[in-house]
Amino acid sequence: MGRRVTRPVALLAGMRDFHRRPELSSGFGGPFNGQTRRLEAITALFDELQPERVVETGSYRGTTTEWFGQRDVPVDTIEINWRLFGYAWARFRRDPLVTVHRSDSRAELQDLARRLDTTRCCFFYLDAHWHEELPTREEIEIIASRWEQPIIVIDDCKVPWDDGYGFDDYGSAGLVSVELFPELPGWSVFFPSTPHTEETGARRGCALIVPPALASRVGALDDWRAA
């Protein structure tokens, strides 16, 4: 019988990973899965909408987190896996802008909504969907009900008109697609306008959801196409 790995052991293992295996820090080829056009599209969103905070669900090892931290705004990143949390905590423990939370993303979003100024424009990057249970729908519901100016990007999402983009499919648990999103009357959904053949890296799909007040500004950006 194998030895049960306790939480403290997994936490320490993640911290050791950071110090002993620096090659892991590049994640899936760089921020946003190594996708150059995705990075340009996210940059355009930041330049146009000027979010004052970032909340990321699914830290993994902090590759994309680090890019968010370089935007000079506070970043809260949430990771449920103890080993990955240990890695991300070690990576950002001296970074005053980045706070790493070990929690279920839904519970932490509720807690952040109680502690933060939810009237401010906040950028949400949802990437916590790689277990049997998909928290994405509930994450969106919490964000949409608590924040007034959220910019919500969902990674690994199916792009309806471009099957060349990868997406997460968990069988009976569901797949990450627009059908998973809650009903948000008046809100707008966008997808990458760039065909997958012009993308680099992992070529994973994504979706963008914004409230009515931000829709026209996003619609003016060349990188995003309305659903």
Please tell me the chain's helix, strand, coil percentages from 3-state DSSP, rounded to the nearest 5.
40, 20, 40
Closest alpha carbon to 38 in 165, 151, 140: 165
Residues 6 or more apart in contact with residue 13 via CB below 8 angstroms:
5, 83, 86
Long-range pairs of 130-138 with CB within 8 A, sequence gap ≥ 24: 130/58, 130/156, 130/168, 132/170, 132/173, 133/173, 134/170, 134/173, 134/174, 134/176, 134/180, 135/57, 135/104, 135/105, 135/106, 136/176, 136/180, 136/181, 137/180, 137/181, 137/182, 138/106
pLDDT given at position 101: 98
Q: How would you label 123-157 residue by residue, b for 16+ Cβ within 10 Å and e otherwise?
A: bbbbbbbeeeebbbbbbbbbbbebbebbbbbbbbb
Encoding tokens for residue 177? 């697609």
Cα–Cα distance, 64 to 60 (Å, whole number): 9
Encoding tokens for residue 117? 């100024």
pLDDT band at 1 (very low <50, low <70, confident <90, very high): very low
Percentage of the chain surpassing pLDDT 90?
Answer: 87
pLDDT given at position 2: 43
Tens digits of residue pLDDT in 116-161 = 999 999 999 999 976 677 899 999 999 999 999 999 999 999 999 9
Strands (E), 27-97: 53-57, 75-79
Tens digits of residue pLDDT in 71-96 = 999 999 999 999 999 999 999 999 99
Q: Which domains does the chain have, with CATH numbers?
A: 28-81+88-226 (3.40.50.150)
- Using the predicted structure, report yes or no on whether residue 195 has a pLDDT greater than 60: yes
